[in-house]
Amino acid sequence: MIHVGIIGFGTVGTGTARILLGNRSILKERTGIDINLKKIADIDIKRDRGLKLPKGVLTPKADELLNDPEIDIVVELIGGTAIAKEMVLKAIDKGKHVVTANKALLATHGPEIFRAAGKHKVEIGFEASVAGGIPIVKVVREGLVANRIKAVYGIINGTSNYILTKMTEEKAEFSEVLKEAQKLGYAEADPTYDIEGIDSAHKLAILASLSYGSQYSIRDVHCEGISWISPMDIEFARELGYKIKLLAIAKETDGKVELRVHPTMIPEEYLISKVDGVFNAVYVEGDAVGSTLYYGRGAGDMPTGSAVVADIADISRNIVNGAHGRLSFSVSRKAKNLMKMEDVRSMYYFRFSALDKPGVLSKISGILGKYNISIVSVIQKGRREGKAVPLVVLTHMAREKDVVSAIREINRLSVVADKAAIIRVEGQENG
């Protein structure tokens, strides 16, 4: 019998407990191991979580659990990076295996935690830290182990995907939809982490570390959010055959790894552009397997609990077979080989606010040409002589550095009324 202790009895803690209790017999059937939820520690032991726990399981003291010699696996579900880190390091120090759903913790203090785990020969399970219930960590680390990973793209933040989906369906403003999402519980009171791409960047750092064998952190990820996206951009994207999604992208090109999170235009016929609402999806391209996609719920008590319990089952199998460390988090490459953002190449969508008068397009396209940015198509909407109208330009592949220079110069033109909106475009270079 394997004994488990959970620290943190919030949403995911409750889901995890519900699965461990409710599916105990199924788990035994499927793994041959009896997994016992022995303790749950939380400062609030009063609140009703709608879950009947056996007597004596709930305790206000995490130490009671950390000091219990019978407990094999400690599950950290507190969140944040301060107390969570302390608890995780304590558990490791006491020789306990750890399962966590905490992407912020791993993307910030990963190296320290994995070093400690290596020293004490314990395992760290972190399936639930990326894309909730989708077993993407296992897929990248084991299922696609035969592949050189060429690219990993993901919609890995449900809140921002919900907002962009609603903006698209209802032609609504960002702020309006955000308020609605907060009311429905899909966005937090302080939504910064979700809408500014930080949560996605945490998860991308973890996916990239698995894919490219080095320890990437949140600091290695170029990160832009969605709060400035307007219904106008969504509508232009639609006219051009694209959807706008907040995409987390890791790619290896010529030995360099690029890591970036930003609003992205994706051809609407791509499967990933049909991933709507709070759902997540991760696209993985391997040199042998080609294109693959993994889709499911990226958050919530039960989906995230499903991933937590999968880690518990995996570690239990290793304990029973005396094989801990079987799948240690191997970081084989020291060098991060990061591509500088300025060297990243992409296609682009620009929306200029340009005065409707002769010669403006020629001026703008002249500057783009000077910086080696060639144009695929141009849309100009509305005629308001002498006034500002949107001028949309779609480009071929261009270098970020050139784009930054060109846009700076264009923004300074007297015929340009406002700063340009810039969205990177994914898809096949056509033409």
* Interacting positions 265-284 with a copy of itself (CB under 8 A): 271, 274-275
- Closest CA relative to residue 154, chosen from 246, 286, 51: 246
Report the alpha-carbon distance of residue 247 to residue 259 in Å, rounded. 11
Question: Token pair of 185, please?
Answer: 């519980």
* 115 is a site residue for a copy of itself (CB under 8 A): no
- The length of the chain is 431
**Contact code string over 161-200 relative to a copy of itself, x by CB under 8 A:** ----------------------------------------
Under 8 Å between Cβ of 151 and 285: yes
With CB under 8 A as the contact rule, the residue among 81, 182, 292, 353 that binds a copy of itself is: 292
Cα gap 282→207, rounded to integer Å: 10
Least gap, CB of 380 to a copy of itself (angstroms): 33
- For the record, the structure tokens of 55 come out as 């007597």
Q: Residue 3's beta-bridge partner residues?
A: 36
Check binding of 214 to a copy of itself (CB under 8 A).
no
Give the helix, strand, coil percentages of the chain, each rounded to 5: 40, 25, 35
- DSSP-assigned letters across all residues of 102-136: -HHHHHHHHHHHHHHHHHTT--EE-GGGSSTTS-H
Residue 322 is a binding residue for a copy of itself (CB under 8 A): yes
Per-residue x/- marks for a copy of itself, 22-51, CB under 8 A?
A: -x--xx-xxxx-------------------
**Residue 424 forms beta bridges with which residues?**
264, 348
Rounded-to-integer distance, Cα 271 and Cα 354, Å: 35
Q: Which of 263, 269, 238 is nearest to 248 (CA)?
A: 263
134 binds a copy of itself, rule: CB under 8 A: yes
Cβ proximity of 354 and 391 under 8 Å: yes
* Nearest-angstrom CA–CA distance, 9 and 425: 41
**Annotated catalytic residue: which of 203, 243, 245, 251?**
203
Q: Which stretch binds a copy of itself (CB under 8 A): 112-120, 174-182, 303-311, 369-377?
A: 303-311
Task: Please report how close the Cβ of residue 27 comes to a copy of itself at its closest, in angstroms.
Answer: 7
- Give the phi and the psi of residue 105 in degrees, each rounded to 5: -60, -50
Identified binder of a copy of itself from the candidate list 46, 48, 69, 146, rule CB under 8 A: 146
203 among known catalytic residues: yes
- Site membership for a copy of itself, residue 203 (CB under 8 A): no
Please identify, using beta-carbon distances, which residue of 17 and 205 lies nearer to a copy of itself. 17
Binding of residue 21 to a copy of itself (CB under 8 A): no
Chosen residue from 38, 262, 297, 351 binding a copy of itself by CB under 8 A: 297
Active site residues: 203
Binding site for a copy of itself (CB under 8 A): 15, 19, 23, 26-27, 29-32, 127, 133-135, 138-139, 141-148, 213, 271, 274-275, 286-297, 300, 302-303, 305-310, 313-314, 317-318, 321-323, 325-328, 330, 332-333
